[in-house]
Structure 1
Amino acid sequence: MDATYGAAFIGLIGSAVLYGVTLLQTFLYFKQYPNDTRMTKSIVVVLWVLDTAHLSLCTIAIYTYLVRNFDNPGALGRSTWSMNLQTDCNGLIGLIVECFFARRVWMMSRNIFLTGLIVVLACIHFGLGVLFTVEGFILVETSKFPRLIWVTSTGLGSAAAADIIIAISLCYYLTKSRTGFARTDSLITTLIVYSLTTGLITSIIAFVCVVTFATMPTNYIWLGFFWLIGKCYVNSLLAALNSRDSLREQAAPQDGTFLQLTPFRAMASSHNPTNEPSISTDPSVKNGSDFVDATHLTLAVKIQKQTISKTDYE
């Protein structure tokens, strides 16, 4: 029981905790970004619905095994409809999130081969997840699950490969965008860290799922990790959306970095209703409250170069 439904129960608890993070991030998204496009909002809603459905199916499965079939050992070795269908929710979540980040790779690289490879790997992950569900209904007995090792290994391996390619691609093209200006390079470094973090977390969990299922296909240790990977996908996308304001603040120029002509305009406009600058060039003119001494006037201009690039959000 420890290695089967004990492991699944622990995975359910971890999944529920991450679902709480999903709820918080979804709430913050709709509060902070009400002007996002319908497409972006629709993606967030669909992911939230799928994440909710996944947690519900996992809870139903655990309840069916541990409560409704209490003291019925024979039922523990058979798969249920909810246990089989939860795989598809995770697969569809992975497909949407990986295609979302593949679009970012495309916008940065315009490399159709690289973007296509990511999409193909994401589709393989989802397609084999559906196959696993179908085989789960056919095999029924969990003792026959070792036949599906190649399905799980290939599917989750494709997901891990897609995540790694996304992270490496984003880091590579972000590194090429360095300008030499401290503020811009600091922002690019932050984006690189975000890309590595989101890509590595999901790929590591997928790799652990592959190893544990390949070595222990008759228990549910792999399932405990698998129930976490969908939540990590959803939260990685929501974190990317919700971090935009903080990134904008980091990229915003400090006071004084743009052209400063306010003092000059203030003095000129106060003595000239037409806003035409009128400065006396006679050195004998007194430097008082009613005049500007041109010989002591210093105009400082500071220019900062900025790079404007397209973004996938309004």
Structure 2
Amino acid sequence: MSSSTLPSGVPALDSTLGALLIGSFLSLILFGVALYEGYTYFKNRHYETATITTLVSVVLVFDTVHVVLIMISAYHYTVTNFANPASLNTAYWSLNVVPLVGAVLSLLSQGFFARRVSLISPLYVVFAVIAAMGVVTASVCTFIITVKGFSSGTLDLVVGNHLYSEIALGSVTLTAVCLTGSLLSVLVRARSYQTRVPNTSDWPEHSLRKLWVVWVVNTGTLIFCACTTALVLAVASPHSLWWVMFYFISVRLDVITLLSVLNSRRIVPVNADVLEAGGGYGRSVLARANRLATVERWNIPELPEESPPAVIDIKVTHEVEGRESAAIEIPRRGTRKFRR
């Protein structure tokens, strides 16, 4: 049925049902990527904490539920109501629940990213707090959208008058700006420092894939692009569902980025030998060992260190453009060296 033969009051199929279908297809493809990342995580989750393992399990369950709800919605509008285009004016129950489940996924994944940014340094705690406020605001707006969708039974909050959707998209975009900007700034500062100071470079030549993972995927740049595009389309084209397509993509990218960050680690037991014991020095060495363990656990990009590190011989790994590990030897004087 072409758009020219549609009954009066029925929205155009290309920009509504077509956008929903394309979003469903792309969402299923990205869901497959998330499943692969989840399989990789559980296969290699040695020395992992119960908290992060539980987080990943819950995220994968909700991600599966989210995709199933999208498929149910697409089936309802394309098969069950194939000859009834007027059904596009009504909100099916699964379509009302989709944003609520997506909000839970964003809250879990973005909460992990905010915690990750807050551990970089005290300065970045401010950006982490702003990001957390943004994702909470988006979750509240999404809850309102779900409640109003069930009470009205129409798609007015999705097609046309979607003020709450725009606020939610604006909030998650703000969150992405804070988190992605913080992570990219650390990587840029580290690269700049290592190019200025001789014998401090831990940026060996890597493949394009590893550079893509560290600089684009793990920083949340893809999430930022998807959220920004969804926000722009929601404002510029309020009577279409093209923005919903990018919303579906952004939720899948939340999960993929979370799992990619976790899979970029290779955790080993931290073994610190204090070479010179006594007084507060021993406590400082223990604190540094704990800090390095936290850096690896949350895969935190580290700021460059201007002063020589403490006298400690410690083996730990952290992300250096890829999923390879490096044993770090911290000498008494000089710069950080890497043993391959």
Q: TM-score, normalised by structure 1?
A: 0.74
Structure number with higher strand proportion? 2
Q: What CA distance in whole angstroms lies between the structure 1 residues aligned with 2:212 and 2:75?
A: 42
What displacement does 1:203 show?
A: 1.5
Aligned length, in residue pairs? 262
- Aligned match for 1:117, one of 109, 125, 130: 130
Name the aligned partner's letter for residue 306 of structure 1: R
Name the aligned partner's letter for residue 81 of structure 2: N
What displacement does 1:176 show?
A: 4.7
What displacement does 1:195 show?
A: 5.0
Question: What does the per-residue CA deviation read over 1:166-186, in whole Å, with 9 as the maximum and x for residues that have no partner?
Answer: 122123344555453444255
Match of 2:177 in 1: 164
Unaligned runs of 5+ in 2: 1-12, 267-317
Question: What does the per-residue CA deviation read over 1:192-250, in whole Å, with 9 as the maximum and x for residues that have no partner?
Answer: 97355442211221121122222333322221111111100000011111112393775
Match of 2:87 in 1: 75
Asked if structure 1 preserves the Cα contact closer than 8 Å seen for 2:89 and 2:154, the reply is yes
- Aligned match for 1:238, one of 259, 272, 279: 259
Q: Which has the larger radius of gyration?
A: 1
Answer yes or no: is 1:211 the counterpart of 2:249.
Answer: no
Q: What CA distance in whole angstroms lies between the structure 2 residues aligned with 1:76 and 1:167?
A: 36
The farther-off stretch of 8-17 and 133-142 is 133-142
Question: What does the per-residue CA deviation read over 1:21-74, in whole Å, with 9 as the maximum and x for residues that have no partner?
Answer: 011000000111232101111111111011100000001111111111221222
Asked if structure 2 preserves the Cα contact closer than 8 Å seen for 1:156 and 1:206, the reply is yes
Name the aligned partner's letter for residue 215 of structure 1: A
Superposition map of 1:141-290 within 5 A: 141-143=154-156, 145=158, 148-176=161-189, 178=193, 180=197, 181-185=199-203, 194=214, 196-197=216-217, 198-245=219-266, 247=319, 250=324, 252=326
Unaligned runs of 5+ in 1: 260-302, 309-314
Match of 1:4 in 2: 16
Q: What CA distance in whole angstroms lies between the structure 1 residues aligned with 2:135 and 2:211?
A: 23
Identity in percent:
26
Superposition CA RMSD, Å: 3.0
Match of 2:287 in 1: none
Q: What CA distance in whole angstroms lies between the structure 2 residues aligned with 1:18 and 1:211?
A: 22
Q: TM-score, normalised by structure 2?
A: 0.69
Asked if structure 1 preserves the Cα contact closer than 8 Å seen for 2:114 and 2:179, the reply is yes
What displacement does 1:131 show?
A: 1.3
Asked if structure 1 preserves the Cα contact closer than 8 Å seen for 2:158 and 2:165, the reply is no
- Aligned match for 1:49, one of 20, 40, 61: 61
Match of 2:120 in 1: 108
Structure 1 residues 258 and 37, CA gap change in structure 2 (3 angstroms): closer
Question: What does the per-residue CA deviation read over 1:246-273, in whole Å, with 9 as the maximum and x for residues that have no partner?
Answer: 937755259xx999xxxxxxxxxxxxxx
